[in-house]
């Protein structure tokens, strides 16, 4: 028997281990099982290079709990250790860089958690004593027993193990009794060891017999040793992928499709990323990608590890190049991890590109469902955006799909305005915006459908990416103002007539909560409707964005402002104009002349300030007078009210009481 001091020069590593890994005590199990797996894998390697010629046997790792003795044991039939190995790998912690590390980071214990794989020594987080019983695979080895009570002193003596391999026995600490509960251990094994490459055994399979569960002879294997991502894509069928998906997400619907990552340069990475069907807006739940290192579960908190937009995906990523014992903040800062992240993004983009090229019609069919991912990617990842420009699609209201390039050539000749800007028109709702779409169609224009969750932001991105292009909603102005081809025809009315007609309509617009109207006269052509309501693109977008982003409240609180355009070239409107002028021009003209006179006086210099304000009051009175003459007339004109209501109806603004009035009026006119 020999005793000694563990080779850590820093006074005592164990208090550090206990204290600072407090929150994550459970990882000890992951560490010990990984070591056991490593030991069996090493033996396989030695066999394959001819250095080990004995029987491999059934390689396995067994975990057992003895509640009475208070022990938890991890056993393997791997390479084992002789006393030299123990000396080198267990006693000299310094060997794995711990000593150097501890001296360097003494003061920032937190980084220890991040940087330093505590490995075997994490056992001391939960144990008052740890024992190793081991026999090396090497010919003529003697069994070794090592034990340590958590102080730097250890004992090493001849052991009793008769078969190749290692038992690590933990004498569980009083404050860690939870790790003697089978259910707790099983949960942990399922979390960390579910996909380890060697069978991990914990207890026996149970069977229902005589009214209770009893143990059978069969070992209970926790893991599936050959998880799907570690297999060759060419060997796998769709069913396999779907089945595996449901193993990860038991309650989910089938995924739309998946990407099997399989990379060995510039780093090793395998994995499967699934595109789930996202049905509702807020179906978006993060942390659905699990990160593995050589099939050992590391974390499902992958923020910063995978590109942000991929947080919408589900699946697994496995890379030995992702450090195993890491905290999240460390992962995010790690250069290698960043590279991996952008690499994944690139791979996903390549795959999408391939899908698009190989089977465009299939890609188009999936487009509506994957659009959210791609738009999110394009919005949040510059590089992804650049590559996605090749296969991202635009869909029009008739259900046709175009690449960006295709769309440009489609609309270029017809939808360029007189200043050389190309104008893309879109609708967010074909039903609501039906008549606007119609009048755009009548001009031969194409209308995109932009009804996705992110389209509002995406339109902004498009405008930014596309040269000399404006993107406007089809109802944001009258069509000839959206794409101005030539200077619009002047309205052939006198100023006075214009005033009268504008107020005539303005006075009859019903009040709608939080909505404002401006009346505008335009000569839109005799075949166009008498009136049309539009909403300014900029204001609307601002309001919509502010609804999604707190902080832009200013826009959110403003009333919705619409423009009611009266088409003075329309025959019905023409009749209204000539009649209103005939009936009230005589009464209005003198008032207007008087207002003009007074206004002239006000602007002359001879009048004193006092007089000016009296005159201004007079003007207001005259205006009120003028307006009441017009609105008194307007009240008698059902046709004016009909025109307004019909245009409100067309833009979904006619509701409640206003709608009721409209219906009654319509009947009375029949």
Q: How far is the CB of 34 from ligand ADP (least distance, A)?
A: 7
Q: Does 72 bind ligand ADP (CB under 6 A)?
A: no
Distance CA 362, CA 607 (A): 79
Site for Mg ion in 180-219 (CB under 5 A): none
Compute the least distance from the CB of residue 36 to ligand ADP, in Å.
5
Comparing CA positions, the residue from 188, 189, 198, 227 lying closest to residue 315 is: 227
Contact partner, 295, from ligand ADP, Mg ion, none, Cβ < 5-8 Å per class: none
Cα separation, 391 vs 398, in Å, equals 20
Three-class DSSP category at 3? strand
Q: Could you give the string, one character per residue 189-208, with x where binding to ligand ADP holds by CB under 6 A and - elsewhere?
A: --------------------
Cα–Cα distance for residue pair 503/630, rounded to 1 Å: 7
Cα dihedral 249, 253, 258, 262, rounded to 10, equals 20
Of 593, 533, 528, nearest in space to 563 by CA: 533
Of 89 and 267, nearer to ligand ADP (C-beta) is: 89
Q: CB of residue 410 vs ligand ADP: minimum separation in angstroms?
A: 59
Output b/e per residue, 71-95; b: 16+ Cβ within 10 A: bbbbbbbbbbbbbebbbeebbebbe
- Chain centroid to Cα 554, Å, comes to 26
Shortest distance, CB of residue 42 to ligand ADP, whole angstroms?
A: 8
Chain CA centroid to CA 561, Å: 32
Residue nearest to Mg ion (CB): 119
Decide which of ligand ADP, Mg ion, none touches 509; Cβ closer than 5 to 8 Å per partner kind: none
**Residue 334 interacts with which of Mg ion, ligand ADP, none, CB < 5 to 8 Å by class:** none
Per CB under 6 A, does 392 bind ligand ADP?
Answer: no
Q: Which residues contact 532 (CB under 8 A, 6 or more apart)?
A: 435, 436, 439, 478, 524, 564, 565, 567, 647, 650
Question: CA dist 422 to 327, 407, 417, 425, 464, Å?
Answer: 50, 11, 6, 10, 13
Residue 150-189 contact track with ligand ADP, rule CB under 6 A, x = bound: ----------------x-----------------------
> Measured from the CB of residue 122, what is the shortest distance to Mg ion in angstroms?
9
- Select the binding partner of residue 39 from ligand ADP, Mg ion, none (C-beta < 5 to 8 A, by kind): ligand ADP
Looking at 29, 90, 169, 653, which residue binds ligand ADP (CB under 6 A)?
A: 90
Residue 348 site contact among ligand ADP, Mg ion, none (CB < 5 to 8 Å, cut-off depends on kind)? none
Q: Give the nearer residue to ligand ADP in terms of CB position, either 30 or 641.
A: 30
User: CB of 206: closest distance to ligand ADP in angstroms?
Assistant: 28
Phi-psi region of 374 (alpha: psi -120 to 50; beta: other; left: phi over 0): alpha
Q: Which stretch binds Mg ion (CB under 5 A): 3-11, 33-41, 496-504, 530-538?
A: 33-41
The closest alpha carbon to 436, from 400, 463, 475, 398, belongs to: 475
- Strand, helix or coil at 45? helix
- CA angle, 216 then 221 then 223, to 5°: 160
Q: Which of 26, 31, 375, 480 binds ligand ADP (CB under 6 A)?
A: 31
Q: Which of 432, 420, 370 is nearest to 395 (CA)?
A: 370
Which span (79-87, 112-120, 485-493, 565-573) binds Mg ion, by CB under 5 A? Answer: 112-120
Q: Does 96 bind ligand ADP (CB under 6 A)?
A: yes
| CB of 161 or CB of 260, closer to ligand ADP | 161
Q: Residue 642 interacts with Mg ion (CB under 5 A)?
A: no
Helix (H, G, I), strand (E, B) or coil at 144: strand
Question: C-beta of 122: minimal distance to ligand ADP in Å?
Answer: 8
CA distance 447 to 457: 18
When the beta carbons of 70 and 80 are compared against ligand ADP, the nearer one is: 80
Nearest distance in Å: CB 76, ligand ADP: 5
Can you give 201-241 as a three-state secondary structure string? EEEEEEEEECCEEEEEEEEEECCCCCCHHHCCHHHCCHHHH
The rounded distance, in Å, linking the Cα atoms of 326 and 323 is 6
Binding pattern for the stretch 111-140 against ligand ADP, x by CB under 6 A and - elsewhere: ------x-xx--------------------
Residue 270 half-sphere exposure toward CB, CA atoms < 13 A = 13
Binding partner selected for residue 36 from Mg ion, ligand ADP, none, CB under the kind-specific 5 to 8 Å limit: ligand ADP
Q: Rule CB under 6 A: is residue 78 a binding residue for ligand ADP? A: yes
- Contact segment (CB under 6 A) with ligand ADP among 75-83, 192-200, 352-360, 607-615 equals 75-83
35 binds Mg ion per the rule CB under 5 A: yes
CA distance 25 to 20: 10
- 122 or 427: CB nearest Mg ion: 122
With binding defined as CB under 6 A, does residue 39 bind ligand ADP?
A: yes
Give 148's contacts (C-beta < 8 A, 6+ positions apart): 6, 124, 129, 130, 154, 155
Report the DSSP beta bridge partners of residue 426. Answer: 448, 473
380 contacts which partner out of Mg ion, ligand ADP, none, CB within 5 to 8 A by kind?
none
Q: Please, which residue, 35 or 650, has the CB nearer to ligand ADP?
A: 35
Number of residues in contact with ligand ADP, rule: CB under 6 A? 17
393 binding ligand ADP? (CB under 6 A) = no
Residue 166 binds which of ligand ADP, Mg ion, none (CB < 5-8 A, kind-dependent): ligand ADP
Residue 35 in the binding site for ligand ADP (CB under 6 A): yes
| Residues 313, 377 contacting (CB under 8 angstroms) | no
Angstrom distance (rounded) from CA 255 to CA 257: 6
Residue among 85 and 477 whose Cβ is closer to ligand ADP: 85
Contact region with ligand ADP (CB under 6 A), list: 35-43, 140-148, 152-160, 631-639: 35-43
For 447-503, list the strands marked E by DSSP. 447-449, 469-473
Query: 309 touches which of ligand ADP, Mg ion, none (CB within 5 to 8 A by kind)?
Result: none
Residue (35 or 387) nearer to Mg ion, CB: 35
Burial of 160 (0-12, 13-18, 19+ CB in 10 A): exposed
- Applying the rule CB under 5 A, the residues between 113 and 142 that interact with Mg ion are 119
Nearer to ligand ADP, 36 or 169 (CB): 36
| Residue sitting closest to ligand ADP (CB) | 119
26, 76, 87, 477: which one contacts ligand ADP (CB under 6 A)?
76
Query: Of 189 and 521, which has the nearer Cβ to Mg ion?
Result: 189
**Nearest in space to 132 (alpha carbons), one of 194, 191, 85:** 85
Q: Which residues bind ligand ADP (CB under 6 A)?
A: 31, 35-36, 38-39, 76, 78-81, 89-90, 96, 117, 119-120, 166
Question: Footprint of Mg ion on this chain (CB under 5 A)?
Answer: 35, 119
């Amino acid at each position: 028997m020999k005793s000694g001091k563990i080779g850590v020069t820093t006074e005592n590593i164990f208090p550090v281990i206990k204290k600072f890994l407090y929150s994550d005590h459970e990882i000890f199990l992951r560490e010990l099982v990984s070591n056991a797996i490593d030991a069996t894998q090493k033996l396989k390697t030695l066999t394959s290079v001819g250095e080990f010629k004995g029987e491999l046997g059934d390689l396995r790792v067994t975990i057992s709990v003895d509640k009475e003795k208070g022990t938890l044991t991890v056993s393997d039939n791997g390479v084992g250790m002789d006393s030299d190995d123990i000396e080198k790998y267990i006693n000299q912690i310094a060997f794995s860089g711990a000593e150097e590390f501890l001296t360097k980071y003494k003061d920032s214990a937190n980084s220890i958690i991040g940087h330093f794989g505590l490995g075997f020594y994490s056992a001391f987080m939960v144990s008052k004593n740890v024992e190793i019983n081991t026999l090396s695979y090497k010919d003529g080895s003697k069994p070794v027993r090592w034990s340590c009570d958590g102080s730097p002193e250890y004992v090493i003596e001849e052991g009793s193990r008769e078969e190749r391999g290692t038992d690590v026995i933990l004498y569980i600490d009083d404050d860690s009794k939870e790790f003697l509960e089978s259910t707790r251990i099983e949960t942990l094994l399922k979390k960390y060891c579910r996909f380890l490459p060697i069978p991990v055994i914990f207890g026996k399979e149970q069977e229902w017999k005589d009214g209770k569960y009893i143990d059978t002879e069969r070992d209970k294997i926790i893991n599936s040793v050959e998880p799907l991502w570690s297999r060759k894509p060419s060997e796998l069928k769709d069913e396999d992928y779907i089945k595996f998906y449901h193993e990860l997400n038991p309650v989910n619907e089938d995924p739309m499709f998946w990407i099997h990552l399989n990379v060995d340069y510039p780093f090793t990475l395998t994995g499967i990323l699934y595109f789930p069907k996202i049905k509702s807006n807020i179906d978006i739940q993060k942390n659905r990608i699990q990160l593995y290192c050589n099939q050992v579960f590391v974390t499902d908190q992958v923020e910063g590890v995978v590109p942000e937009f991929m947080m919408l995906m589900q699946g697994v990523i496995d890379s030995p190049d992702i450090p195993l014992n890491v905290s999240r903040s460390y992962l995010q800062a790690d250069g290698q991890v960043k590279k991996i992240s952008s690499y994944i993004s690139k791979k996903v983009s390549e795959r999408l590109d391939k899908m698009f090229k190989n089977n465009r019609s299939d890609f188009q069919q999936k487009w509506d469902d994957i659009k959210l991912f791609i738009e999110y990617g394009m919005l949040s990842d510059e590089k992804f955006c650049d590559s996605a420009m090749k296969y991202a699609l635009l869909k029009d209201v008739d259900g046709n799909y175009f690449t960006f390039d295709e769309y440009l050539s489609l609309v270029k000749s017809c939808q360029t305005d007189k200043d050389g800007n190309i104008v893309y028109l879109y609708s967010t709702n074909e039903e609501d915006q039906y008549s606007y779409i119609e009048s755009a169609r009548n001009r031969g224009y194409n209308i995109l459908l932009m009804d996705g969750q992110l389209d509002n932001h995406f339109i902004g991105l498009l405008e930014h990416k596309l040269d000399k292009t404006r993107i406007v909603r089809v109802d944001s102005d009258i069509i000839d103002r959206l794409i101005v081809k030539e200077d619009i025809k002047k309205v052939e009315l006198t100023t006075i007539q214009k005033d009268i007609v504008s107020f005539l309509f303005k006075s009859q617009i019903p009040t709608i909560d939080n909505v404002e109207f401006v009346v505008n006269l335009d000569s839109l052509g005799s075949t166009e409707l008498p009136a049309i309501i539009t909403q300014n693109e900029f204001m609307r977008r601002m309001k919509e964005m502010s609804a999604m982003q707190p902080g832009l409240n200013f826009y959110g609180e403003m009333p919705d402002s619409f423009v009611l355009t009266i088409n003075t070239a329309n025959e019905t409107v023409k009749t209204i104009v000539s009649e209103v002028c005939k009936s009230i021009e005589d009464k209005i003209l003198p008032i207007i002349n008087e207002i003009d006179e007074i206004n002239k006086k006000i602007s002359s210099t001879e009048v004193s300030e006092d007089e000016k304000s009296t005159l201004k009051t007079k003007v207001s009175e005259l205006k009120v007078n003028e307006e009441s003459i017009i609105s008194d007339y307007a009240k008698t004109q059902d046709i004016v009210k009909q025109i307004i209501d019909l245009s409100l109806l067309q833009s979904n603004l006619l509701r409640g009481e206003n709608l009721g009035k409209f219906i009654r009026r319509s009947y009375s006119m029949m």
